[in-house]
């Protein structure tokens, strides 16, 4: 039987809106180490204050960013394995995170980084990591690898009068996960990598540690809630926050989310550890059922809107999230489609089956990007 995933950790903060751990400095951001198993530690970034102003942070209870470090060692077959970092945070925690990571991973280590969500902020952090750990390599889904390559050379132009930025590090090797696959870790641990694409996160990649039953679910099942404790104290303590996160980001892509949840129901899970918020050990089955139930309520709506978008830097996607939540609250089903990654047949089916369309686009050089132009052409022909 796999060992328990209940480490001797601090009790949850009684008021999640206050600084984690009861710090007297309200709003103090920090990174803590939470040991889970021998050779496995959670590096948790805590932000007691509201981190950003997107609708998903609207409950204003702070947030966390959960990363998971599997230490270097020897696999069950005797082969050496490097340290593996699952789900790095964004640049908000960079300096604090690097300091915590450096306590275990030396600068010359062949560090592997499993990227569960790929966006400009995450790629910026990977570039900074590649400078500190030059032997770094990246593990990403097929769509995630495409995004990493596209975004690696992109950065904002310097402000007028500012010094030229330092040269970018070379793009690290990318291990592309095209389908579900297992990889050995140190000792008895083994990591199963599960692509979980959605319109909002086309490069989403989950990681499941087979020996302990720990599902590192990336954005799925998250809650923006600041807490030192690795696990939630009980289901009711986080239910509102997880439902809010679902309504803001998951509901507009309920069909794709339901497909992912259906796959997860087949896994021998013992604990779910999302990217944001405390882990779920005692009530994870109920949470999967909640995701199913919440998705069914979306499907029952009599009217539907197809929300087509592309997003160069994440801003258009954030606006799309806000619009989707507003429309969904009126009782209208929303289907979000990222035109850059959606197959043509999905786009056509959504256009034919909806009662209205919303289209969002960035401007690149004064023009809409090709995926949006193609989508508009499809709308006109249909």
DSSP assignment string, 231-247: B-S-GGGTHHHHHHHII
Which span out of 83-87, 155-159, 254-258, 298-302 was modeled with the highest average pLDDT?
83-87
Give the mean model confidence (pLDDT) for residues 335-357.
83
Distance CA 360, CA 309 (A): 5
Q: 187 — alpha (psi -120 to 50), left (phi > 0) or beta?
A: left
pLDDT band at 212 (very low <50, low <70, confident <90, very high): very high
- Residue percentage of the chain with pLDDT more than 90: 55
- 132 versus 379: the higher-pLDDT residue is 132
- Which element (helix H / strand E) includes 238? none
Give the tens place of pLDDT for each residue, 116-125: 999 889 999 9
pLDDT at position 19: 33
pLDDT at position 287: 95
Q: How many helices (H) and strands (E) does the chain have?
A: 9, 17
- Residues 291, 298: contact at Cβ < 8 Å? no
pLDDT for residue 260 is more than 90: yes
pLDDT at position 327: 83
Distance CA 195, CA 204 (A): 6
| Mean residue pLDDT across the chain | 87
Q: Is 187 helix (H, G, I), strand (E, B) or coil?
A: strand
pLDDT at position 10: 36
Q: Is 139 helix (H, G, I), strand (E, B) or coil?
A: strand
pLDDT at position 8: 36
Tell me the pairing of strands 181-184 and 190-195: antiparallel
pLDDT band at 363 (very low <50, low <70, confident <90, very high): confident
- CA proximity to 46, closest of 69, 22, 74, 70: 22
Tally the residues of the chain. Answer: 382
| CA dihedral sign of residues 301, 199, 63, 40 | positive
pLDDT band at 345 (very low <50, low <70, confident <90, very high): confident
pLDDT at position 22: 35
DSSP string, 251-275: GGGHHHHHHHHHHHTTS--SEEE-S
- 181 versus 370: the higher-pLDDT residue is 181
- Residue percentage of the chain with pLDDT more than 70: 92
φ/ψ (deg, to 5) at 16: -65, -15
Give the mean model confidence (pLDDT) for residues 216-220.
97
Q: Which two tokens stand for residue 232?
A: 């939630």
Give the mean model confidence (pLDDT) for residues 317-325.
80
pLDDT for residue 139 is more than 80: yes
Distance CA 172, CA 170 (A): 6
Helix, strand, coil % in the chain, rounded to nearest 5: 30, 25, 45
- CA proximity to 54, closest of 308, 324, 242, 312: 324
pLDDT for residue 331 is more than 60: yes
pLDDT at position 281: 94
pLDDT band at 330 (very low <50, low <70, confident <90, very high): confident
pLDDT at position 27: 61
Distance CA 351, CA 339 (A): 12
Contacts of 60 (CB under 8 A, 6+ apart): 17, 50
Give the mean model confidence (pLDDT) for residues 151-157.
83
Give the tens place of pLDDT for each residue, 2-60: 334 444 333 333 333 333 333 324 468 999 999 999 999 999 999 998 877 677 888 88
- 193 versus 155: the higher-pLDDT residue is 193
Lowest pLDDT segment from 96-105, 231-240, 294-303: 294-303
pLDDT at position 1: 36
Give the tens place of pLDDT for each residue, 71-103: 999 998 999 999 999 999 999 999 999 999 999
pLDDT at position 270: 96
- 61 versus 50: the higher-pLDDT residue is 61
Lowest pLDDT segment from 101-105, 114-118, 254-258, 319-323: 319-323
Residue 257 CB neighbours (<10 A): 24
């Amino acid at each position: 039987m796999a060992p328990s995933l209940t480490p001797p950790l601090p009790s949850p903060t009684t008021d999640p809106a206050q600084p984690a751990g009861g710090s007297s400095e309200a709003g103090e951001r920090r990174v803590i180490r939470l040991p889970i198993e021998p050779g496995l530690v959670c590096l948790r970034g805590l932000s007691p204050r509201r981190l950003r102003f997107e609708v998903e942070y609207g409950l204003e209870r702070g947030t966390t960013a959960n990363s998971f470090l599997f230490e270097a060692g020897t696999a069950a077959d005797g082969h050496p394995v490097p340290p593996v970092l699952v789900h790095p945070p964004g640049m908000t925690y960079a300096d604090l995170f690097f300091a915590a990571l450096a306590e275990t991973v030396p600068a010359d280590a062949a560090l592997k980084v499993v990227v569960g969500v790929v966006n400009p902020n995450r790629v910026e952090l990977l570039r900074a990591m590649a400078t500190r750990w030059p032997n770094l390599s990246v593990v990403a889904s097929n769509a995630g690898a495409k995004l990493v390559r596209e975004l690696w050379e992109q950065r904002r132009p310097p402000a007028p009068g500012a010094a030229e930025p330092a040269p970018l590090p070379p793009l690290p090797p990318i291990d592309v996960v095209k389908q579900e696959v297992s990889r050995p870790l140190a000792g008895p641990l083994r990591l199963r990598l599960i692509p979980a694409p959605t319109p909002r996160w086309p490069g989403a990649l989950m990681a499941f540690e087979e020996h302990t039953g720990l599902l590192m679910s990336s954005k799925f099942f998250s809650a923006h809630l600041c807490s030192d404790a690795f696990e939630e104290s009980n289901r009711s303590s986080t239910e509102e926050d997880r439902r809010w996160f679902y309504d803001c980001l998951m509901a507009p892509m309920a069909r794709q989310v339901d497909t992912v949840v259906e796959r997860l129901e087949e896994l021998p899970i013992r604990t779910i550890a999302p990217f944001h918020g405390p882990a779920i050990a005692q009530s994870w089955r109920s949470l999967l059922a909640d995701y199913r139930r919440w998705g069914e309520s979306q499907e029952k709506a009599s009217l539907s809107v197809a929300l087509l978008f592309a997003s160069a830097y994440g801003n258009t996607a954030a606006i799309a999230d806000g619009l989707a939540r507003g429309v969904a609250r009126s009782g209208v089903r929303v289907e979000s489609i990222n035109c850059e990654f959606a197959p043509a047949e999905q786009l056509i089916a959504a256009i034919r089956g909806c009662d209205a369309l919303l289209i969002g686009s960035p401007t690149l050089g004064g023009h809409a990007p090709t995926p949006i132009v193609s989508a508009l052409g499809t709308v006109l022909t249909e």
